[in-house]
Amino acid sequence: MGTCLRFSLAVLPAAFILCLASAGTHNKTGVSGAWLKNVPLYAGARTNPYAQDEDAVAAGAKLFQRHCSSCHGKDANGTGRAPTLNSFTVKNASPGALFWLLRNGLLRRGMPSWSRLPDEQRWQIVTYLQSIQDR
Amino acid sequence: MLVPTFAAAIWAADAPYFVTYTHHMEEPGTLEVAIENLTGRPQAGERFLGSLLEVEYGVKGWWSTEFYFSGQSTRNDSTLFTGYRWENRFRPLMGEHWINPVLYVEFADLNGADKTMKEVVGFDSQFDQNTRNAEARVEKKREIETKLILSSNFKGWNLAENVIAEKNLSNAPWEFGYAVGVSRPLALKASPRACRMCIENVRAGVEFYGGLGTRHRFGLGDTSHYVAPTVALELPSGTTFQISPGFGMTSASHGFLLRFAVAYELPGLARHLRRLWRTYR
């Protein structure tokens, strides 16, 4: 077995374990709502095409459970990984701002971008998030 | 203990490509385990099955790391482990843009019998795979591979382009290749019903990939190229099934390749491991 191979066999698993360990250092996402300052005016002003649509609330709830609940909790009240979404920040954010956040994420702070979802599904999630604010 | 801990899986909702990469990274703290298979038959050779065990982890929102362990089995020959790869993908721009670049770096330690065809570069050809395994495995391929991934999402469509440059660490020239993919979910709106087989759970697309020669002889001559329609079904349980028939477009290409894969995502792995550590220490 060559020196290069022995070296890589030793280093690669160690590097992978370091990667796993560093994942514990994510900051909690957007607790303060500081991200709202980054939302462009045009994006914040966009209106939700599914506002008040009961089907969109149900579809958004389903999407939330699939994509978001592992970090934000099944009832959106937050976990150790990510903050509650039943919050003053979310309640007061415009639909366009929430849509912008889902599209862009906060990659440095651990919130992934959900641009992989079609716009329609992100609006459905926004509809659901706004529907739970008054509960 | 581990089973209920990992029971809450999430959807990947990734593009259904086998060769092309997009700018979508693994969610932070999520581990994806996948088995990817490729079967084909060179004109003058035996049918083979190349398999990859893939372990991908989202380290940060902008950084994913992935290990691949590969092997193959050839009819009337043998079955063997052919090596491993370690790749890292980085998103230099934090927001979402019209075109989103990702930098990809991979180290591969494979032998010449590898038939997983995770990418096609240089003058890779079906004729490389006619050699008997006992002879092919003697060749060592320690390679650095880099990719520039450009990817865009628009109205539910994803378009991704990869430019590939690969260097065998022995005295061999840089080899180049490309991959391009386009895909879309079959429905853009999610249904309000809870369902496994909803049409929005299916993504379909097509990818094109092939070699572009080497630093000394760049171009399309004597290279192999493929077109491959692809379909993925993502179940709410977190399991994704993918299949892609590939068709060779040049004489150096395999006539037909079939890729199929199954993947499963385990969210919050680091958190679960920390919890287990606290419980048992």
Residue of A nearest to B91 (CA): A107
- B209-252 pLDDT, tens digit per residue, is 999 999 999 999 999 999 999 999 998 888 999 999 999 999 99
Question: In terms of DSSP H, where are the helices of B99-196?
Answer: 133-136
Contact B120, B226 (CB under 8 A): yes
Q: Which of A19, A116, A119 sits opposite B65 (nearest CB)?
A: A19
Distance, CA of B1 to CA of B162 (rounded, Å)? 41
User: Residue B60: its chain A contacts at CB < 8 A?
Assistant: 22-23, 26, 107-108, 110
Amino acid residing at B138: V
Pairing status of strand B225-234 against strand B63-74: unpaired
- A10-68 pLDDT, tens digit per residue, is 555 555 554 444 444 444 444 567 888 888 999 989 999 999 899 999 999 999 998 89
ipTM: 0.83
Percent with pLDDT over 90 in chain A: 38
Q: Which of A2, A70, A112 sits opposite B25 (nearest CB)?
A: A112
- B124-137 pLDDT, tens digit per residue, is 999 988 899 999 99
The pLDDT of residue A88 is: 85
Task: Measure in Å the smallest separation between the Cα of B79 and chain A Cα atoms.
Answer: 21
- B140-186 pLDDT, tens digit per residue, is 999 999 999 999 999 999 999 999 999 999 889 999 999 999 999 99
**How many CB pairs lie under 8 A apart between chains A and B?**
135
What are the tokens at B13? 């909702």
Average of pLDDT values for B186-195? 91
Does the pLDDT at position A89 exceed 50?
Answer: yes
Q: Poorest-confidence range of A20-34, B10-24, B84-98?
A: A20-34
The pLDDT of residue B9 is: 38
What radius of gyration do chain A's Cα atoms show? 19
Query: Which residues lie across from B141 on neighbouring strands?
Result: B110
Contact B85, B68 (CB under 8 A): yes
Amino acid residing at A85: L
Interchain contact B192–A (C-beta under 8 A): yes
- Please compute, for residue B190, the number of CA atoms within 13 A of its CA located in the half-sphere on the CB side: 35
The pLDDT of residue B51 is: 96
The pLDDT of residue B7 is: 37
The pLDDT of residue A29 is: 45
Q: Which of B91, B189, B274 sits opposite A107 (nearest CB)?
A: B91
- B220-230 pLDDT, tens digit per residue, is 999 999 999 99
Distance, CA of B102 to CA of B83 (rounded, Å)? 25
Residue of A nearest to B93 (CA): A107
